């Protein structure tokens, strides 16, 4: 998994692109963009929740410190890292 701990600053705004129904869970950085692939389906927020868990793990922070601020039903999402 990609180490994103250098982005783990309180108040950081992190934009990601989520791909649901992937073969396996993975996080990559492609052309300066964070791409998260999750096996979860895009129903009832399952893919978003899975992406939040993976992102928190890559950042080395608790999942509860990440707040979704934009993109609840879109592939492009923006998370805020709380203090």
Map tokens 């309180």 to a residue.
10
> Which secondary-structure segment (H or E) carries 58?
helix 46-59
How many domains is the chain built from?
1
Q: What is the pLDDT of residue 28?
A: 95
Check pLDDT > 80 for residue 1.
Answer: no
| pLDDT band at 75; cut points 50, 70, 90 | very high
Q: Are 14 and 55 in contact (CB under 8 A)?
A: yes
Q: What is the pLDDT of residue 2?
A: 84
Q: What is the pLDDT of residue 16?
A: 97
Domain span holding position 64: 5-81
Q: What is the mean pLDDT of residues 37-65?
A: 96
Map tokens 């600053």 to a residue.
9
CATH label of the domain that carries residue 13 = 3.30.1200.10
Q: What is the mean pLDDT of residues 20-41?
A: 94
């Amino acid at each position: 998994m990609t180490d994103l701990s250098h982005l783990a600053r309180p108040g950081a705004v992190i934009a990601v692109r989520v791909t649901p129904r992937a073969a396996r869970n993975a996080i990559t950085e492609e052309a300066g963009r964070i791409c998260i692939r999750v096996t979860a389906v895009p129903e009832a927020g399952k893919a978003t929740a899975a992406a939040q868990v993976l992102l928190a793990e890559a950042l080395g922070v608790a999942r509860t410190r990440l707040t979704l601020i934009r993109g609840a039903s879109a592939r492009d999402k923006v998370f805020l890292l709380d203090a």
